[in-house]
């Protein structure tokens, strides 16, 4: 068992636009996070079928390791994930349900970094985040996710 929390929340209104930080966001089952590019169908990958783009998460520990190990410092929003966590073993949540505050999610697959992310940030981000780029999840039970919400199984 683990008990982590939400460090920060981010949405982008359209593909390639900077991620905006927010204190809370409404999670809608089967659709995603209100106001986000994938909720609106305007994300870079929206036209490509694939597993779950409702919510993406990344560990702040991975962002900190990127700076420590590769000397690449990026703000959490630059990772282009919706939910930044602390104390949550995201890689272990594939095919498992977990809770963020009142919202229930199911991990669907790892959210590996891609060349697109590296192009929006800087060279080395892709290699530095391989196998720790986060998790894709679908919303099982909607509600509001807030910064500092507790995350548990």
| Interior angle at CA 23, CA 151 and CA 5, nearest 5 | 20
For 94, phi and psi rounded to 5 degrees?
A: -65, 130
As a whole number of angstroms, the distance between CA 8 and CA 59 comes to: 10
What is the reported pLDDT for 52?
72
What is the reported pLDDT for 49?
61
Contact partners, residue 105, CB within 8 Å, separation at least 6: 27, 55, 97, 98, 99, 137, 138, 139, 140
Contact indicator for 84, 6 with CB cutoff of 8 Å: yes
Per-residue pLDDT of 51-83, as tens digits, reads 677 999 999 999 999 999 999 999 999 999 999
Contact indicator for 60, 116 with CB cutoff of 8 Å: no
Dihedral sign of CA atoms 1, 149, 84, 76 in order? negative
CATH numbers and ranges of domains, the chain = 4-152 (2.40.33.20)
Contact indicator for 148, 9 with CB cutoff of 8 Å: no
Check whether 5 has a pLDDT greater than 70: yes
Per-residue pLDDT of 102-141, as tens digits, reads 999 999 999 988 777 777 788 888 888 999 999 999 999 9
């Amino acid at each position: 068992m683990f008990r982590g929390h939400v460090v920060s929340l981010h949405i982008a209104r359209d593909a390639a636009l900077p991620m905006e930080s927010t204190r809370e966001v409404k999670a809608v089952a089967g659709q995603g996070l209100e106001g986000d590019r994938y909720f609106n169908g305007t994300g870079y990958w929206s036209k490509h079928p694939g597993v779950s783009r409702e919510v993406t998460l990344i560990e702040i520990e991975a962002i900190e390791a990127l700076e420590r190990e590769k000397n690449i410092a990026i703000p959490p929003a630059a990772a282009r994930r919706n939910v930044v966590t602390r104390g949550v073993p995201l890689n272990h949540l594939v095919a498992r349900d977990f809770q963020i505050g009142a919202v229930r999610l199911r991990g669907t697959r790892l959210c590996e970094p891609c060349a697109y992310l590296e192009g929006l940030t800087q060279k080395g981000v892709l290699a530095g985040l391989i196998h720790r780029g986060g998790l894709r999840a679908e919303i099982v039970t909607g509600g509001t996710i807030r910064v500092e919400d507790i995350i548990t199984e």
